[in-house]
Amino acid sequence: MHSVLIIDDHDIVRFGLEALLARCPQVHVVGSADCLRGALEQVRRLQPDLVISDMGLGDSNGVDTVRALAQAQAGRALLVLSMQDELLYGEQALALGAHGYLMKGNVQANLVPAVLTVLHGGSWVSPRLNSKLVNRYLRRNAAVRQQSDAGVASLSARELQVLELLRSGKTTKEIALVLQLSTRTVDIHRANMKRKLGLRSGSELIAYASRLP
């Protein structure tokens, strides 16, 4: 059975959440708090498997609340509840260390699934927020790929040979032997490739080469 700590500055909300969780035999509410200071004391004392917390508390704003609880939980699950629009605040809560974001208007239908999801190592967001996050990832990935393709196109034929040999795992000395170049010339090609590709180190260049198709 997983231990749960509930944090909200409204008594009726805490009681309601506890009543909903009473239907779930996998969890047990071990405590509650109505402010961040009290919540942090409870987290340190009880070390709950899951903290369920409102973002805005009487003694803390949303950002500080989530950041402080995520740090106190030290990797254990944190589910944020809020009246604030998830498209505005959900991504921020996840970035601060929360494992899920659930709007209070959807608590009755989704609290237990959200709780079980984050307790088992998953992340909980609504389909609407998930769609936003996925679309953003795809746009970023496309931009990175476009930049990468442009970078490769700027390389000379010899630099492409060096890059291909790096991709196969060869060292500078081995590349020099294969291409019948001096190691200094290979190092110059590597430096030019880093400049053209916007990379800062040899390890980044090797990582870049390893991702090539």
Kindly tell me if the per-residue pLDDT of 130 is higher than 90.
no
Kindly tell me if the per-residue pLDDT of 149 is higher than 70.
no
Kindly tell me if the per-residue pLDDT of 147 is higher than 60.
no
Q: 62-73 vs 86-95: helix axis angle to the nearest 10?
A: 30
Question: Mean pLDDT highest for which of 59-68, 113-122, 198-207?
Answer: 113-122
Q: 157-167 vs 202-210: helix axis angle to the nearest 10?
A: 80
- The pLDDT value recorded for residue 115 is 94
Residue 45: pLDDT band by 50, 70, 90 thresholds?
A: very high
- The pLDDT value recorded for residue 86 is 64
> What domains are defined for the chain?
2-126 (3.40.50.2300), 132-210 (1.10.10.10)
Residue 148: pLDDT band by 50, 70, 90 thresholds?
A: low
- The pLDDT value recorded for residue 142 is 53
- The pLDDT value recorded for residue 6 is 96
CA 168 vs CA 144, 163, 188, 211: distances in Å: 23, 9, 19, 11
Residue 200: pLDDT band by 50, 70, 90 thresholds?
A: confident
Kindly tell me if the per-residue pLDDT of 138 is higher than 60.
no
- Quick one: average pLDDT of 26-32? 94
- Quick one: average pLDDT of 100-121? 89
Between 95 and 149, the more confident residue is 95
Kindly tell me if the per-residue pLDDT of 156 is higher than 70.
yes
- Quick one: average pLDDT of 203-211? 85
Q: Which amino acid is at 151?
A: G
The sheet carrying 2-7 orders its strands as: 27-33, 2-7, 50-54, 77-82, 100-103
- The pLDDT value recorded for residue 125 is 80
Between 37 and 83, the more confident residue is 37
